[in-house]
Structure 1
Amino acid sequence: MKRTVSVFMAISLIGILVFGGCEKQEKEVKDSTKEIVVAINSETGGLDPAGMIALTYLAYSVSALDELLTFDENGEIEYRAAESYEVNEESTVWTFHLRKDAVWSDGTPVTSKDFSNTIARALKPESGSGYANYLFPIKNAEAVYNGEADIESLGVDTPDDDTLTFTLEKPCVYFLDLLRLPVYTPSCSAYALDASDGWDKSPETSVANGPFYLDEYVPEQYFVLKKNTRYWNADEIKLDKITYRFFADQQSMANAYETGEVDVATGLQSSVMELYEGKDDLYITDTIATRYIYPNLNVKPLDDVRVRKALNLAIDREELCKIVGDDTEPTVNFIARYMKDRQTGEYFVDGAKKPFEENVEEARRLLAEAGYPDGKGFPELTYHYPTLEMDSDTAQVIQEQLKKNLNIDIKLNAQELQVNYTERRAGRFDLCRMNWTADFADPYTYLSMLLSNSTYNCSGIRDVEYDRLVEQSDTETDPVKRAQLMHEAEQLAVGEKFYIIPLYTMKSCNLIRPDIRGIAQIPATGALEYRHAYIAEEN
């Protein structure tokens, strides 16, 4: 199935002549291993759920870590690390009862303190967690993060090893959705002490409570997950091993699939759709994601709403998508095009008018009003983006369109994915490419990123009215009224203040060996999950 297996078989054949039966027996054991190799993007971030994470963690965690609970494709609760929960009438105290048979991959029990360990560390700003603000619904969490309260005052209690209680500042209608986020997953208290000491990428200390555990990690090359035989639901796990290999670009991933080096390659360039059309390998999925640009409000003239609006109105997204690929679809929304409204079953963004419409003439008028008629005197801005094919194509089209329509010059700066991520988080950019895939099935996963206190707000947005609308939606129990508040918030941020430049949403072009079954889509994000994958037996 894979090149590594084929090479081994060749070596074994030679070895039979020398070593006889023992070598043959070893070959049979190794050949029976059920494993897949998955191609993923370049290494970014760490594996500590309380630390600075990005794509690498997301690939690791879906197979190695169990959250308290999640939701299946029908919106029903699927219990994982927890076996039950209860909530008080005010929806401010949530108590979860952990599985008593759950252990870490090293055999030690998974306890409530392992969950509070992640939370406490994530609330230390030096940990670098971009998800820390999703803990703020918990009593005193924001004050702890800001150094205004002690950790002892945090509304997280562990009365015994099997009980975890959250006391919230006020009711939070999407609290159960938050539980699938990194900062709510456990990290073993025996090893996970500091995000900077490397425990997360060392197999000796990076233990897991999910179906697989970290067996090997080679920076910038690959990491290996092996089946956790101590997992509470191990009988349902069919794979023995998953290897994730890092690739610098989409073409390299596609080539590796073609040559048999990998069995799964996700997020490939749209040209693959034509090459594999009609073949069982091709698997197209809708991603619950938005590709957009951050204008840094701390950089002039991007602090002027007229300039931000002009940039938005001057981009021809239809033309952009035709050039970038068939796997893209224009959007002027921040909330992902394919995110469903749970109440109506329709796409959420269809419940309100579009935030704005493109208009080159109006864009030119606004730029002139801001003091830059026909682009004269406009400073050269730099657009930072990752060295991925889709982002490179996008950058060139944006550069050409803004020159043609506004007569302004945009300098392009391609960066390695990790560098782009780090520089953006530090606010060192004029314009920066951003992509957000939903973390959970609620529009708040998008709207929260533009809040004044958001740890992902790296472009200097401070808007009291926007904060008020989003905060009001947090406690609104009437789904119709809540949806209206969230639509108003998006309209304010994207259609009036133009805090971002939305570009397009995407379909994910994936290649999967036809004999691999059981790969599922995570309902909340659209990403692929391999924990229940298996290799079909040949007839």
Structure 2
Amino acid sequence: MRQKRYQHIWLLIFSLMIGLTGCGNSNTEKTTGSGEKEQQEITVATTSESGGLDPAGMIANTYLAYSLSALDELLVYDENGEIEYRGATSYETNEDGTVWTFHLREDAKWSDGSPVTAEDYRNTIERSLDPASGNGYANDLFFIENAEAIYNGDAEMDTLGVETPDDNTLIFHLSTPCVYFLDLLRLPVYTPSCHTYATAVGDGWDTNPETSVSNGPFCLKEYVSGQYFVLERNPYYWNQDAINLDEITYKFFDSQQAMQAAYETGEIDVAPGLLSTVMTEYEGQDDLLLTDAIATRYIYMNLSVEPLQDVRVRKALNLGLDRETLCKMIGEDTIPTYHLVASAMMNKATGESFTEEAEQPFEENIKEAQELLKEAGYPNGEGFPELTYNYPALEMDADTAQALQQQWKENLGITIRLNAQELQVNYSERRAGDFELCRMNWTADFSDPYTYLSMLLSNSTYNCSGIQDEYYDGLITQSDTETDVAARSELLHQAEQYAVGEQYYIIPLYNMKNVNLVNPEIEGIRQNPATGALEYRQAGWGKQ
């Protein structure tokens, strides 16, 4: 086990939990014997390569790791719910919330020194609205006038409700009011991509350091597919005084065990999202950091596959599990859930957990599940087709798959075939609807239940199951324009109860805690308030 060198981890945890920046503007620089500043670098583990770095392309884990340090959104909400301006300096909206005008930061520059303009924001939006881009967040642009029609090929791009009257003004014209429009600005499709280089999805510009420019604190220095990518300080970043690190290296790992081993040998400085066994191994050690993951692990059922069109079958698959036992088998970092929305998602109006404000959508009942299968024509599981469950070949998912297979066999008499896949393959086949049962994990993109519930909309690009439900769509659409916060929360609760507890469109499994190992000498790591992910923008090495 790595030898402890510093004893201030509680300061680190404190700063993480309340969102402080730790080192801030304090002197955290290492110096050489001659008094010159020493290069500050950290190395972070991340899961195996998936997706690219283009905000208009296929978004997966690699982009999410990259974007936290390399891209500035127009604005975000901080841990106190206050607006933190980044790419913009101010905004205004009209009385009914259908026109939003953003004034861009005039000193914002790309990492090649060229100015960031309103056209760069429009560039990402336009490219995302091409279905060939494969961007799962395209439907989050559909609030903009004619965006959905453009995506569906029913309107031309020049009818899009995005106006750029000058380089520093960006205006959105919405077809209907959206009470959480500012929250959406965290999403990739609302971040800029330099129109000089980012002309197409999938042509390689995003992983080429010469063309992959960024507007955030760091920019791409090197990208070696399947191995690592390196970010270096953006010399033109407008907020240089808040940045301490010179380089961040992200290394790809195929397993959590490999991440842990790399941390223990000093190959990496931060290993996030490790196995629950690390909690016991590192109990009482300075390196161990536990954080809440605003994420839900669940299963998509393909509604075009027999017999998953039958709500009785979907309900039986849900009621026929014992999630408490499942979580005990998987690890102490999992918590059973019966919701789509993560338990760590807070209701901004009340400050309480959104899921705890409503009744549990359903309760497990193996006997009832057996009766439902019998009613559907499969007594004791007889005649039930052998469905295949696709899941990424990662430790936690493998353990989960085996436990599910065992429980459904013992409780319902049905056989599920397990199919472990590379992460990228699992992601691509799910997006294409090429599955019967498929593991899904969703981490919140912003601090609103819509980030979960929108995925089941009929027109959602993340609706991989083929759900087409006008009643559900109506509830969500009504919530979009509801300005009374209590009434809006009630609509969202109704939508989740209906989708998860009446139609059983998904099989929720568990929420999680993130088990992380962090070098105690590093200060200023923040926990992103919207997603729960660790953020390294203002990290740095402490004094020696």
1:161: which partner in 2? 167
Q: Which has the bigger relative contact order, CA under 8 A and spacing at least 6?
A: 2
Q: Matches of residues 10-89 of structure 1 in structure 2 within 5 Å?
A: 32-89=38-95
**Which residue identity does 1:297 align to in structure 2?**
L
Map 1:143-158 → 2, pairs under 5 A: 143-158=149-164
Which residue of 2 is the match for residue 140 of structure 1? 146
Q: For residue 495 of structure 1, what is the aligned residue in structure 2?
A: 501
Normalised TM-score (structure 2)? 0.93
Q: Distance in 1 between matches of 2:283 and 2:232?
A: 33
Matches within 5 A, 1:476-495: 476-495=482-501
2:469 is the counterpart of 1:469: no
Report SS of the residue matched to 1:288.
strand
Give how far 1:47 is off: 0.5
The match for 1:318 is 324
Distance 1:32 1:410, change over 3 A: same
C-alpha deviation, 1:29, in angstroms? 11
Q: Which residue of 2 aligns with 1:10?
A: none
Alignment-mate amino acid for residue 259 of structure 2: M
Greater Cα offset, 25-34 or 98-107: 25-34
Q: Is the 8 A contact 2:218 2:232 kept in 1?
A: yes
1:403 — aligned with what? 409
Q: How many residue pairs align between the two structures?
A: 515
Distance in 2, matches of 1:519 and 1:311, equals 41
Maintained 8 Å contact 2:276/2:333 = yes
SS of 1:267's partner is coil
Of 292, 313, 330, 1:307 maps to 313
Name the CA shift for 1:406/1:158 in 2 (closer, same or farther; >3 Å). Answer: same
Matches within 5 A, 1:3-402: 32-402=38-408
Deviation of the 1:533 alpha carbon: 0.3
Structure 2 vs 1, CA of residues 42 and 30 (structure 1 numbering), >3 Å: closer, same or farther?
farther
Q: Per-residue deviation at 1:399?
A: 0.1
Identity, % of aligned positions: 67
CA shift at 1:31, angstroms? 8.9
1:513-524 alignment to 2 at 5 Å? 513-524=519-530
SS of structure 2 residue aligned to 1:488? helix
Unpaired runs of at least 5, structure 1: 3-24
Tell me by how many angstroms 1:357 deviates.
0.1
- Structure-2 separation of matches of 1:403 and 1:332: 21
Deviation readout 1:10-38 (Å, 9 max, x if unpaired)? xxxxxxxxxxxxxxx99989992100000
TM-score (normalised: structure 1): 0.94
Question: What is the rounded CA distance, in whole Å, between the counterparts of 1:28 and 1:267 in structure 2?
Answer: 39
Shift of residue 456 of structure 1? 0.4
Which amino acid in 1 is paired with 2:346? K
Cα deviation, residue 280, structure 1: 1.1
Q: Deviations over 1:36-87 (max 9, x none)?
A: 0000000000100001110000000010000000000000000000000011
Partner SS state of residue 136, structure 2: coil
* 1:537 Cα deviation after fit: 1.2
Q: Which amino acid aligns with 1:175?
A: F
1:235 Cα offset (Å): 1.6
| Matching residue's letter, 1:453 | N
2:431 paired residue number: 425
Q: CA deviation at 1:195?
A: 0.7
In 2, distance between residues paired with 1:325 and 1:345?
Answer: 29
Q: Which residue of 2 aligns with 1:18?
A: none
Matched, 1:443 2:449: yes
**Structure-1 residue corresponding to 2:459:** 453
- Find runs of 4+ consecutive structure 1 residues off by over 2 angstroms: 25-31
Maintained 8 Å contact 2:32/2:38: no
Give unpaired runs (5+ residues) of structure 2.
3-30
Alignment partners' CA distance in 1, 2:466 and 2:480: 23
Instruction: Flag the 1:160–1:413 CA change in 2: closer, same or farther, 3 A.
Output: same
Offset of 1:336 from its aligned partner? 0.5
* Aligned partner letter, 1:466: Y
